[in-house]
Amino acid sequence: MGETPITLGIAPIGWTNDDLPELGGEIPFEQCVSEMALAGFKGSEVGNKYPKDPAVLNAALKLRGLTICNAWFSSFLTTRAYEEVEAAFIAHRDFLYAVGARIIGAAEQGHSIQGQDKPVFDAKPYFTDEEWDRLCEGLNKLGKRAAEKGMKLTYHHHIGTGVQTTSEIDRLMENTDPDLVGLLYDTGHLVFSGEDHLGVLAKWIHRICHVHLKDMRPALREKAIAGKWSFLRAVKAGVFTVPGDGSVDFVPVFDALKQAGYAGWWVVEAEQDPAQANPLEYAIKARTFIKEKAGI
């Protein structure tokens, strides 16, 4: 079917971290997007320093040949009224549409511990059957709202939440409408959780609408488990890194996505302390690795 139309983006969390504002707190938005372009990427997700006015953001991106591909949405379908979540989602959707994105990456934050000082494995939440029903029904409804503007809701499985493991991803996918809810596939979160990332990829490859390429340092994962670290402590210590700098074998991931005819974004996402991992240096490292291993 010819060359797979894959576009490469990079997330701003290598420069400035939304969950840990002290990481890269001094790095301005303009430096972040300029270095993304300099490293050879075509797009970005949205960070907390990005202009909130679509016209201002679009102008800054256009100067650098970049576009927005997605932005994180925190859903609270298990813990709040649906109407409240929907109102926030519509505002988020309309902003993303105005800045050119057609993917909306949602992660359920009801009971999430990802931002709390709790051991990321021992304190992980588990949903009740009733909460699962609320989550899946709510996602289908939000998916319809996304479709109203020709956009796709994609679910982001995440460490420290109720949708982290293979069985939880399976349950979510099996109980949501494929036409309305896609999967955001994140290598780093699967490997950190101890899942078979290639197994998840193979099973749900035709539901995957967006990809986060994140590598992991196994020695720091072991320390996080033994020391009962929080998710953010593990991030700050450097458990994640860019593709090609950790233990994840990305070649089978790249090959499977290309062979399946995946069309969309691959986004390098590796939240690190920029004082320890120079953002531009690591962005270039990732871009070089993807070129060498995927030919993109």
pLDDT digits (tens, 9 = 90+) for 176-222: 999 999 999 999 999 999 999 999 999 999 999 999 999 999 999 99
Question: Which of 146, 149, 144, 150 shows the shortest CA–CA distance to 104?
Answer: 146
User: In this model, does residue 18 exceed pLDDT 90?
Assistant: no
**Domains present along the chain, CATH in parentheses:** 6-294 (3.20.20.150)
Question: pLDDT higher for 174 or 271?
Answer: 174
Measuring CA to CA, which residue among 34, 36, 17, 96 is closest to residue 267?
A: 36
What is the per-residue pLDDT for 4? Answer: 55
Do 267 and 69 meet the contact criterion of CB atoms below 8 Å apart? Answer: yes
Pairing of strands 152-156, 103-108: parallel
Mean predicted lDDT score pLDDT of the chain: 95
Alpha carbon distance 123, 89 (integer Å)? 28
Q: What is the pLDDT of residues 234-279, one digit of tens each?
A: 988 999 999 999 999 999 999 999 999 999 999 999 888 888 889 9
Sign of CA dihedral 286, 69, 146, 142: positive
> Over 90: is that where the pLDDT of 22 sits?
no
pTM of the model as a whole: 0.96
